[in-house]
Copies of this chain bind each other. A is one copy, B any other.
Amino acid sequence: MALGWLLFGKGPRHLTAEMLYEEALLAKIPLSLATVYNTLNQLTGAGLLRQVSVDGTKTYFDTNVTEHHHFYLENKYELMDIPDVNLELSKMPEVPEGYEISRIDMVVRLRKRR
Contact = CB atoms under 8 A, between A and B. Distances in A.
Identical copies of this chain, number: 2
B96 A102 contact: no
Interface in A70-114: 71, 73-74, 80, 82-84, 86-96, 98-113
Contacts of A107: 104-106
B111 A96 contact: no
Contact of A93 (B84, B89, B103): B84
Contacts of A95: 71, 108, 110
B109 A105 contact: yes
Interface string A42-73: 00000000010111100100000000010101
A94 B71 CA distance: 11
Contact of A55 (B53, B88, B91, B102): B53
